């Protein structure tokens, strides 16, 4: 990983990464958070929006363009923050937000 840039990682809401869990996270949970899910879905190219969003985001995160990678990472993190919130309207703490590397 980027040990020269990352000093620690905090994990919560861990899944096994099965296809069923990914479908739940990237599709099914959207019905509970329609606005956040629409933003998440809109973060990928139009041709990918009805397909596998996890694969679409993986391609964006592997882009050679740092701007594309950063936007994809921020969009994914915003979706994660929305569906793991404990209370409606809860905002992630500043510690959990991505910050550009210095």
Q: What is the pLDDT of residues 70-94, one digit of tens each?
A: 999 999 888 888 877 666 666 655 5
Establish if 65 belongs to a structural domain. yes
Tell me which residue range forms the domain holding 52. Answer: 19-96
Going by pLDDT thresholds of 50, 70 and 90, the confidence category of residue 23 is confident
Going by pLDDT thresholds of 50, 70 and 90, the confidence category of residue 101 is very low
Establish if 1 belongs to a structural domain. no
Establish if 4 belongs to a structural domain. no
Please give the pLDDT value at position 84.
75
User: Global pTM?
Assistant: 0.68
CB 78 within 8 A of CB 40: yes
Pairwise CA distance, residues 35 & 98, whole Å: 21
Q: What is the pLDDT of residues 39-78, one digit of tens each?
A: 999 999 999 998 888 899 999 999 999 999 999 999 988 8
Query: Could you tell me the sign of the dihedral formed by the alpha carbons of 3, 12, 82, 17, in that order?
Result: positive
Q: How many domains does the chain have?
A: 1
Establish if 79 belongs to a structural domain. yes
Please give the pLDDT value at position 5.
81
């Amino acid at each position: 990983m980027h040990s020269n840039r990352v000093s620690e990682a905090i994990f919560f809401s861990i899944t096994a990464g099965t296809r069923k869990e990914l479908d739940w996270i990237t599709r099914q949970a959207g019905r509970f958070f329609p606005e956040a899910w629409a933003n998440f879905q809109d973060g990928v190219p139009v041709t990918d929006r009805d397909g596998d969003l996890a694969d679409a985001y993986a391609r964006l995160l592997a882009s050679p363009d740092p701007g594309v990678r950063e936007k994809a990472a921020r969009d994914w993190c915003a979706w994660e923050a929305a569906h793991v919130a404990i209370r409606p309207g809860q905002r992630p703490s500043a510690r959990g937000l991505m910050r550009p590397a210095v």
